[in-house]
Homo-oligomer: A and B are copies of this chain.
Amino acid sequence: MKLAEAKAQFIQTWGSLGAQWGINRTMAQIHALLLIMPDPLSADEIMQELNISRGNTNMNVRELINWGLVERILVPGERREFFSAEKDIWKVATYIAKERKKRELDPIMKVLNQLQDVEGEAKDKYVKSFKDSIQNINKFAHHTDKTINSFVKSEESWFYSTLLKIFK
């Protein structure tokens, strides 16, 4: 298989994977492109490679930066900005885990905690069933929260220990 063909295929596969995840297609495609390119790209290069408009490029690159998946690179003597993706997929996974926890798990945990104290006779089967379900989900959510935290933590401490090695 030729590089150009493989590249196109990878970009489109990553894109449709992203779409299934509620991440928009273009955002995933830009990420894929930056993942496989050795050097940072400018906005114009991204536009050309993916055949998308300037506005679209700008918007999605910004969102990727928000997620911590892409970095803005300033080249001395260049007015244009360049963009580069984090290449270590383990780190990518922790950034995503962190972001999704913040957007999805944290809000539902807040609601679940409020829903714990429903008024009413514990003998009423509707009240009982409701309370049981909420408690069950709440336990699971706490467990998941701990698991994600320790996953994210392990990557952070990996970072500090690497830093330490560099300066020792």
Residue positions of A touching B, CB distance < 8 A? 1-3, 6-7, 9-10, 13-14, 17, 19-22, 35-38, 87-90, 93, 103-104, 107-108, 111, 114-115, 117-120, 125-130, 132-134, 136-137, 139-140
Q: Are A140 and B20 within 8 A (Cβ)?
A: no
Given known contacts A6-B115, A20-B103, is B89 in contact with A38 (CB within 8 Å)? Answer: no
21 A-B residue pairs with CB within 8 Å: A1-B115, A2-B120, A3-B120, A3-B126, A3-B127, A6-B115, A9-B114, A9-B115, A10-B130, A10-B134, A13-B108, A13-B111, A14-B108, A20-B22, A20-B103, A21-B104, A22-B22, A36-B133, A38-B126, A89-B140, A90-B140
A118 contacts across to B, CB distance below 8 A: 1-3, 6
A3 contacts across to B, CB distance below 8 A: 118-120, 126-127, 130
CB distance from A159 to the nearest CB of B (A): 17
Q: Across the two chains, which residue of chain B brings its CB closest to A103?
A: B20
A108 contacts across to B, CB distance below 8 A: 13-14, 17
A20 contacts across to B, CB distance below 8 A: 22, 103-104
Given known contacts A13-B108, A104-B17, A111-B10, is B136 in contact with A2 (CB within 8 Å)? Answer: no
CB distance from A66 to the nearest CB of B (A): 16
A35 contacts across to B, CB distance below 8 A: 133, 137
Q: Are B128 and A38 within 8 A (Cβ)?
A: yes
CB distance from A101 to the nearest CB of B (A): 12
Q: Across the two chains, which residue of chain B brings its CB closest to A17?
A: B108
With A2-B120, A7-B130 already in contact, 16 other A-B pairs whose C-beta atoms are closer than 8 Å: A1-B118, A2-B119, A3-B127, A6-B130, A9-B111, A9-B114, A10-B130, A17-B104, A17-B107, A21-B22, A22-B22, A36-B133, A36-B134, A38-B126, A87-B133, A90-B140
